Amino acid sequence: MRKITILIALFIGVMLGCQNSDLELVPTENLQSNDPFIPLRETFDFTYNGKTYSSPFYMENDTLMILEDEEVAAVYNRLQELAELATYVASNGDIEYYNSYEELEMNKQSKGVKNKNAISRIFGPSYEIYIYEHADYNTLRQGRKALLIPPVAIPHLDAYGMNDMISSFTAGAHNLMYSSNGEGITFFRNPDYKAQSITFTVNGLTSVESGYYYYCKVRNFHDYKVKKGINWNDRISSIKTFE
């Protein structure tokens, strides 16, 4: 079987950022001493054009993920070459791919998924976004950061002095009054919301730290792929909240 190798970056990011892993191992407590231990095979799953794809995979050299299903691997490989590929990362870890951000937006709006921009204008911001120059939210290195208050529409990050300089971000609030309805924040590779994009949902509490409520945290954009051989670290030029 022909093998198509895929960098594990996106998989690591999805498992560690904004959600918990859905992968399971067979429980061991009921195994007898002479029973063979056979773990359940892990799978990489995504949705494209309304169809869900799933393939078992295994790790090679601890850095590469090998998709074993040739059909799934071929579809995924083609997706990575789309000039305007839109990646949607749900809070539960599900991944959806779209041919463009416009297609993603139309799909979500048709399902009634909209953000709270209108409510924010009346009652104040429902949450806030921090973007950071370095990974781990600038905790290991001093760097630039910027506070963004939704609704956000930034066609050129040059205005913030952070074009192609974002390595991590958080979305959170100072209280639990924020109630999300599927909104999210989208990062684009080029100015004016062009080229590839990646959207993170902001609709589930992920952690509480020092009295601050986090709804999404991405510690390193290096863990997410733009396309084959290219990750999102230092490759963001425009941002807007999902509408």
The answer to whether residues 137 and 206 touch, using CB atoms and an 8 Å cutoff, is: no
Average per-residue pLDDT in the chain? 79
Alpha-carbon span 72 to 55, nearest angstrom: 6
Return the higher-pLDDT residue of 182 and 148. Answer: 148
Question: Is 60 exceeded by the pLDDT of residue 175?
Answer: yes
User: How confident is the model at residue 183, as a pLDDT?
Assistant: 77
What integer is the mean pLDDT of 176-184? 63
Q: Which two tokens stand for residue 116?
A: 């709270």
The answer to whether residues 206 and 172 touch, using CB atoms and an 8 Å cutoff, is: no
> pTM (2 decimals)?
0.77
What integer is the mean pLDDT of 170-175? 89
User: How confident is the model at residue 205, as a pLDDT?
Assistant: 82
Q: Phi and psi at residue 51, in whole multiples of 5°?
A: -110, 135
pLDDT digits (tens, 9 = 90+) for 192-234: 999 999 999 887 788 899 989 998 999 999 988 898 778 999 9
Q: If pLDDT is split at 50, 70 and 90, which confidence band does 7 have?
A: very low
Alpha-carbon span 19 to 1, nearest angstrom: 33
User: How confident is the model at residue 8, as a pLDDT?
Assistant: 41
Return the higher-pLDDT residue of 12 and 196. Answer: 196
